Chain A
């Protein structure tokens, strides 16, 4: 059952995207090198954010917790394996996920002020997930109704 199955496509709209699904068999095809690249980029941006926090303060360092460090490497890998269209679609989703990062930061900040990190960080993650999914459903339903190009 797709996340978007409840949204009826309007007459004349283009065919819908495939339903949201998970294919765990794809995980076995990931090369160790691709995992290593992501680990290195993740470690590098964490180190940079830490160094900037030390040099310029925690607020400046915090900006880099939402730096698109992994995105260029990830897009290059997607384009190489699945083509240009897939990479562009990946970027479309990234826009929504990035916007939801703002909600993550707000909830984490408010939660940490109010109490325990053990509650604040999972609540912030749940907020990011909820905001991302809601934005995806809204954007996809609008795209189905109004878009004429893939």
Chain B
């Protein structure tokens, strides 16, 4: 029951933080500057706050270790996405971004964090 409540709280908090940063991004211009906020730590802040409150610092610190790998993969996937959007289409870039993230994150995780 407690696990389900924590997951529900993380989900609700994550959704709210993402909307908040998305609104900031919508109001800003030019687009290159607004794009910074497409990679804002919204999900991270929302989840780390819940983890610290419900489970303590140790689990949150472990989360941040994994997040460093996630950030490297996010940077690589956004760069690949930008190149594909320029050469082909934005639609194709949206399809490739998640796959690139997994292709970069999983090997790095296995190499450095297991």
Residues of A within 8 A of B (CB): 3, 17-18, 20-24, 26-27, 30, 35, 38-47, 49-51, 53-54, 57-72, 74-76, 78-79, 82, 84, 86-102, 104-106, 108-109, 112-113, 117, 121, 124-125, 128, 132-133, 136, 140
Q: Which chain A residues lie closer than 8 Å to B23 at the CB level?
A: 27, 30, 35
Looking at chain B's contact residues, is the secondary structure mostly helix, strand, loop, or mixed? helix
**CB proximity of B22 to chain A, nearest CB, Å:** 5
The smallest beta-carbon distance between B14 and chain A, in angstroms, is 3
Chain A residues contacting B44 (CB-CB under 8 Å) are 65-66, 101, 104-105, 108
- If A26-B27, A71-B97, A82-B31 touch, does A102 touch B39 (CB 8 Å cutoff)? no
> Contact: B41 with A125, CB < 8 Å?
yes
Contact of B15 among A18, A22, A42, A101 (CB under 8 A): A42
B12 to A, closest residue via Cβ: A43
Classify the secondary structure of A's interface with B: helix
Shortest C-beta distance, B103 to chain A (Å), equals 13
Show 16 residue pairs from A and B whose CB-CB distance is below 8 angstroms, ordered by the A residue: A18-B30, A20-B33, A43-B14, A63-B69, A67-B43, A67-B74, A68-B77, A68-B97, A71-B38, A75-B94, A79-B90, A86-B31, A92-B32, A94-B38, A97-B35, A117-B57
Q: Across the interface, do B40 and A88 meet the contact criterion of CB distance under 8 Å? A: no
Would you call A140 and B71 a contact (CB within 8 A)?
no
Q: Which of B6, B73, B78, B105 contacts A50 (CB 8 A)?
A: B6
Q: Which of A50, A60, A112 contacts B52 (CB 8 A)?
A: A112
B93 cross-chain contacts in A, Cβ below 8 A: 75, 91
Residues A75 and B10 in contact, CB atoms below 8 Å apart: no
Residues of B within 8 A of A96 (CB): 35-36, 39
